[in-house]
Structure 1
């Protein structure tokens, strides 16, 4: 046995450093794992919420406005029917009604038929149809439904017209005399096919549909499925709340739903569960890769480059902050290794700025679009500053498209839009309201000067010379002050009324609210 005690074994400095780094890294690894699990679940919930939010947005921005537009068209036509014309033994002013209905139908392509039935079994309809002499309108569902709810606009159950191949729905309302005695029922038939086109865009992953209480499909991307019973009627039982989302595990589909209580319909947004799972998996893989990379960098560089990476992160955050505020003011940082990052951030910032611009711009004319107009009009009303709303409608624009072609029609819109921007742009904002309608929000308080400016614009449009022989373009306009209505819809309706009045007076003219007593509204073809 040796007389010297055995020396104790100690770890080398390198081993101690390695052990210290491993122990120090364990909390980072655990936090990374927790973050990965939390992120996966949060991302899936976010995707599900986005599907539900998209369904709500479709209902609020497409379906409900479309049905509201049908109601407005019905109310406008219904308001022209006089009860005294139904009180006699024969219908009065039938030629005028048929003439007006023809004009309304030409301006509202989704309206299929306009008709009137009376308690005396008389019927007036456009398009004109030959009816069986024994036909009694009082036996029709639309008549009975309106009769059972006097004073209310009623919607019938949708039905499929196999003769025309249209999915239709009827709106009806009873007509009464001054003593409250029922005289008849006014009704219109409208197509529901446009809802399918509004809700479904080509190339989307999934689809949207509308079903009634019996499970029949009123909107679907496949026209062959319209008015057929939905493939999964069990979904109706699962859609118990006003809106929500559920997963059909058997079919592998997420279903977001929202009820339309007034019509008793159900809006469905269906998305394959595989696409959501794939998105979560792809994001999860990216998180795992990032955590793994962080592990390597931490083990190799944690002690040496801590301050360097803190500087890098601060530099990038500062760049992003500047680029979000103003893409032209984004400064270039001083870290040479991040030169490409600066370039990409600057490009991404510029792209974001351009996307924001495009979101408020009409693609055809280059004017501001309807979305920008609505936001700006709301902002001006909230600010309380005086301004004017002008609305223009190109006269007989449908005839331009029919005679010279849609390409020429587009060129007309572009040229008139350019002239409007040159003439009115310095006074405010010129927007394309829809189709051949333009609107302008003009600041100031001198109505006479603003009206003169608008009338000069109208004259300049009428004086335009066109390449196509025989082409002449004019417009009718209306002007209202911000003080002449309480809200945005009231201002729009007031300006629209002046446009209708200008068209009825002969077109190619501008009217301003309060200039003369308003006449009955009748849009000209």
Structure 2
């Protein structure tokens, strides 16, 4: 019943799905594997980038400022500071310019004494110095302490107060002590945050991340790109999720990957922020290439499947035409229809073969089957025995009891012979009232005993017709090497006539 439902189209579709399934499974597994590796690579890479950017933009300038402060403090004293502030020929006139030129992100250096006098190099004209007063107020008399200002915007003036320019800065300040550890002034390093941000902007990876340094108060100290209002608002929320010194988390609500690094001394936190969109965009290329390969392979297999379908349709159509002798309608052409036609034709062929080999009256093999079998045995040179059997006085039986009784005699004699012979011997209707038997084997005695048993049963049978007595005579011959079919049959025929001449109802060998 299952085959009834199958037609060539369904077979082709099933074949296509079977072939396509491994490609689909491979694509799903490969995407999963690629995504897993991409995520691990992404986390490791961004953690390293976070460290590098934080070191270049924060740690290195701070360490450099500390080193410069100590170096300057070791080379000057209170007298040098006083001369420098009053415009005299002090050593600071040489030291400070050289420091400015060696520190690329250092915008200026401000030196002050304990009395509120200060001098800045280069000689920038600030519109407002409120930031400097705020920084001075938070300083104490502790040695080796570093003080950080909030980020601030400074408006510098050009010559004669013209050409205002706004600059984003942050100031790092340290106290100056003499050899007796007596405080005599302070030095402040004013860093150009715009320059540092520009440097970070040149180091953006293919994830298009945003690098931001913020203070605990929420001020953005520096950034590698312009931040929008949403990011600035989220920074305050993310600040509460920075539980360790370094780490990362995913903002599931806003779809951001956030990497961070905290600086306890400065109360700063550095963030590297990557949107889910940029992450997917940066990592989709391998999946896209794989998908293109799968699509191309699928197209190839579709073409091949259509070719196979056309080929199968041709084979089925040819089979159907050969079996039925006529072309079938395509909508009714299925494997089952072809199978059914072949099965029916095989049944017809088997029936035709049966009728061509079987005697219609006695239901035993006919003369044609006998001729084929004996020729096959001779060609194979296999030992066998043949017997020719003739029912005695068969014409008189027909004349006296009628042809119907004669036919019954033939049927019953053959039926008795098949019962005696079993599968060992084949019985044939040789012609008219003559029968034949083929024995496959070397034992002539065994064959003779079977023929004799059969003869005795026939001769002892009591028939329905009063006065009917049936016997037969037989001649039995063994095939010898180099005997032809005619020769072995003639030997059996001679022995049959010998039995007839000896009074009938006997077997001669």
Q: Could you tell me the TM-score, scaled by structure 1's length?
A: 0.42
- Which of structures 1 and 2 has the bigger CA Rg? 2
Question: Which structure exhibits the higher relative contact order, with contacts defined as CA atoms closer than 8 Å and separated by 6 or more residues?
Answer: 2
